[in-house]
Amino acid sequence: MRPNAKGRALAGAVTLKEHLHGFPRAHQELMKAEAENMQHELQKAQAECDLADQEVKSCDEEYKSLQQGSHAATSRYSMLKEWLEPVLLVNQTQIQAEASASMLPDPGLQGAMEAVSTMAQKTLEKYEGEISGERTIACVSEVLDRARAARTRQNEAHVALKEAQKNVDHINSRLELETQRVVVEKMLHGAISMLDLNRPG
């Protein structure tokens, strides 16, 4: 290389090295620690997402279970009503017939029939209450409220996860650039040393 070309190369290398030194220089170890911390935050955000997803799934399953229970109760009520209503009708007809046939109906028979009617009526009322009672409505309402709250937390957790991932990607890019800068600076330092050694007197 001619002396003037060597001089220009040396001047250019020194200028570039000084320019690199002029960049804000975060210590690599600190950047690595920051990257590890952000990775930890990402893992926490992922855990929060998993927890929120599981909570939403649990609420959905509980709601489905309540729906199935309600359908089953409605089915039981319909079957009982279909079976007991004729019994109630027959008993009432028999009681009225006994009363009209004689001034002194059989008290034992009448009492037994009334007992059967009462039991049948109470059974129907019990299952009717099961499908339309306040407790069932309150349970469904409470599960729906929890499901809405869980979905809100789920959305927030996924937003936080995306933000954490973005932070991790950003710090990793910065760390990669810093690593490349150090490599380039070392190469320039070697080039300057060689040019210095080869420079005439």
Provide the pLDDT for residue 97.
60
State how far the Cα of 146 lies from the Cα of 192, in Å rounded to an integer. Answer: 68
The per-residue pLDDT for range 21-30, each reduced to its tens digit, is: 544 555 667 7
Question: Where do the domains of the chain lie?
Answer: 3-198
Mean pLDDT, range 95-124, rounded to an integer: 63
Provide the pLDDT for residue 3.
47
Among candidate residues 147, 130, 145, 139, the one with its CA nearest the CA of residue 61: 147
State how far the Cα of 145 lies from the Cα of 151, in Å rounded to an integer. Answer: 10
pLDDT band, very low/low/confident/very high, at 82 (cuts 50, 70, 90): confident
- Per this entry, what is the length of the chain? 201
Residue 52: how many CB atoms within 10 A of its CB?
20
Q: Is the pLDDT of residue 125 over 80?
A: no
Residue 116: how many CB atoms within 10 A of its CB?
15
User: Which is higher by pLDDT, 35 or 20?
Assistant: 35
Q: What dotted CATH number matches 3-198? A: 1.10.287.1490
Mean pLDDT, range 11-28, rounded to an integer: 55
Mean pLDDT, range 112-140, rounded to an integer: 69
